[in-house]
Structure 1
Amino acid sequence: MSPQSVYVVLNEVDDDATFHCDALAEEFPGARTVDFPAGERFDPDDADAVVLTGSTAGVYERDQHPWIDEEIELIRRLVAEGVPTLGVCFGHQIVNVALGGGVRSGTMTAGLVEAELADQPLFEGVDPVVPALHGDRVTESGDGLERIASAEHAEVFGTAHRERPVWTVQFHPEISAEQTESLRRFGWEMNGFSWAEVTADRLFRNFESRAGVE
C-alpha cells in the first residue's frame, strides 16, 4: 500500500516548538503532512491511516483556536468510518474529547517517566520508560475508549477503542536524544533514566502493522 495513504496531522501552533511534529513526520517517510492550524485539510475518504501530533495548544482553547472544533469533527468521522488513527499527546487528548471524554490543565511534565503499559500489540517491544512532555491530562476516557497505559502523574496515559482501530498515547514516541536542545526550554529532566532505556518509537511500526500500511 502506498505510503501516500498515510496522513500526519500537524497540530503545533508555536513556530518555535515544531520540533516534535518534525520528528513524528520523519517516522512516516512519504506520508502527507497536513498543517491543521494553518488551514490545511484533507479528505478522510482518501486516508488509509491518520496520525495526530502533539501541540502546545490546549484542547479546551476552542475560542482561541477555532480549528480545534474542525479537528474534533474530523476525528469523529475517522472513528465512524474505521480509519486507523493514532493520537499522540494533544492527539491523545483531542481524540478522547471528541468522543465525550475530559481533559484538564495541570503542571508541566517534561522528562523521561515510567509508564504501565497494557499487554497489547501497540506496545510490543516498547519499554516502560517513555518521553513525556505535557501539562494537560485526560481525566476521563471517551466513549468506546479503554485505558491501555497509565503513569504516576497521569492515570489515563493511553487509550484504545474497543471496536475501531483507534489508539492514543499521552507520551511522545517520536522524541529522542536528538531533540535535547529543543527540550531544554521546557525544563527537561532525565529523572534517573537514560535514553538507552527508551524504545518508544517502536510504537509507530506497531501502528503501521495494525493499520496495514507497512
Structure 2
Amino acid sequence: MSEPTLVVVRNEVDPDCTFHCDAISDALPDARTVAYPDGDRPDLEAVDGVVLSGSTAGVYEADDRPWIVEQQALVDELLEREIPTLGICFGHQLVNAALGGTVEPAEETCRPVRVDIADDPLFRGLEPVVPVVHGDVVTEVGDGLEVLASADYYHAFATRHREAPLWTVQFHPELTAAHRDRLAADFDWTEADYGFDDVNARRVLENFVSIVADC
C-alpha cells in the first residue's frame, strides 16, 4: 500500500516566522508544500490530504490579502471533493470563517494549555496538554462544524465537520521542545503549569496521516 500524497499549504506571510511551517514539513517529510501567499496552489487532482498551516496574518485581513479569500474558496472545494483536511491555528480560523463562522482578535496566548478533548481518531493517544501560540480566536463555529476540544479560555478550540473529513485545531501540533527558545524569543513563550514534557501533540499529525491513508 503506497503512502498517501499530502500537501502542506504554507500560510506564513512573515519570512522571519516560517519556522512553524518548517516544523510541519519536518513532521511530514514526504509531504509536498505550496506557499499560498506567494501564489502557489495545490493540484487537487493529485492530492490525498491537505494541511492548512498557521500564519501571523489574520483571517479578517482579507481586504489586504486577497489570497485569504482564495483559500476560503479552496476550503469549499476540499469539502466538495471530500479530501481529508486539517487546519492548524490560522488554518483553524480560516476554515471556520470560510464556513460562516466568526474570528476575532483576543489576548495573545503562548504556552502549553490543558484541553478537554473529544473521543476522535484525530486525537488518538494525544495527551491533554498542547502548545498554543495565537492571538485570534474562533468565537462562532462555521456551518456544519462541531466543537471537538475546549480550553478554559476558549470554547471552540478544535472542530470537525459533521459530514466531511475536515478537522481544525487551534493549537500547533508540529511544535516540540526543540522550538522552545525560538518561541520564547519571538512570542514570550511561558511554561508555568505545564511544559513540553507534558506534550505529545505531533500524534495529531501522525493520526491525520493514518486517517488519510484509510480514506
Show the counterpart of 1:93: 93
Counterpart-to-counterpart distance in 2, 1:105 and 1:17: 19
The equivalent of 2:55 in structure 1 is 55
Q: What is the aligned residue count?
A: 214
Seen in structure 2, the aligned counterparts of structure 1 residues 82 and 17 have a Cα distance that, compared at 3 Å, is same
Query: Which residue of the partner structure matches residue 180 of structure 2?
Result: 180
* Structure 1 partner of 2:26: 26
d(CA) in 1 for partners of 2:212 and 2:3? Answer: 12
Partner secondary structure for residue 61 of structure 2 = coil
Give the SS at the match of 2:24: helix
Corresponding residue for 2:134?
134
Q: Is the 8 A contact 1:4 1:32 kept in 2?
A: no
CA contact (8 A) 1:3 1:31 kept: no
Report the secondary structure of 2:38's partner residue.
coil
Q: Helix, strand or coil for the counterpart of 1:107?
A: strand
- Give yes or no for contact 2:87–2:169 (8 Å, CA) kept in 1: yes
- Which aligned pairs between 1:57-206 and structure 2 lie closer than 5 A? 57-184=57-184, 185-206=186-207
CA RMSD of aligned residues (A): 1.4
For normalisation by structure 1, the TM-score amounts to: 0.96
**Aligned equivalents of 2:64, 2:128: Cα separation in 1:** 35
1:32-43 alignment runs, 5 A limit: 32-43=32-43
Q: Is the 8 A contact 1:2 1:213 kept in 2?
A: no
> 1:42 offset after TM fit, Å?
1.8
Q: What TM-score, normalized to structure 2? A: 0.96
- Structure 2's unaligned 5+ residue stretches are none
> CA-to-partner distance for each residue in 1:63-110, whole Å, 9 max, x for gaps?
221110110111110011100000000000001111111100111000
Q: 2-side partners of 1:108 and 1:171: how far apart?
A: 13
Mean Cα displacement is larger for which, 37-46 or 162-171? 37-46
Cα distance in 2 for residues equivalent to 1:177 and 1:44: 34
AA aligned to 1:205 is E
Partner secondary structure for residue 147 of structure 2: strand
Percent identity for Structure 1 against Structure 2? 51
User: Which 4+ stretches in 1 moved above 3 angstroms?
Assistant: 1-4
Kept in 2, the 8 Å contact 1:4–1:30? The answer is no
- Alignment deviations for residues 25-59 of structure 1 (CA, whole Å, 9 cap, x no partner): 11111211000011111222221000000000000
Q: Distance in 1 between matches of 2:44 and 2:6?
A: 10
* Residue matched to 2:13: 13
Q: Would the aligned equivalents of 1:3 and 1:213 in 2 still touch at CA under 8 Å?
A: no
Select between 166-175 and 22-31 the one with higher mean Cα deviation.
22-31
Question: In the aligned structure 2, how far is the partner of 1:115 from the partner of 1:96?
Answer: 19
Counterpart of 2:37 in 1: which secondary structure?
A: coil
Return 5+ residue gaps in structure 1 as ranges.
none
Q: Quick one: distance in 2 between partners of 1:47 and 1:160?
A: 20
SS of residue in 1 equivalent to 2:179: helix
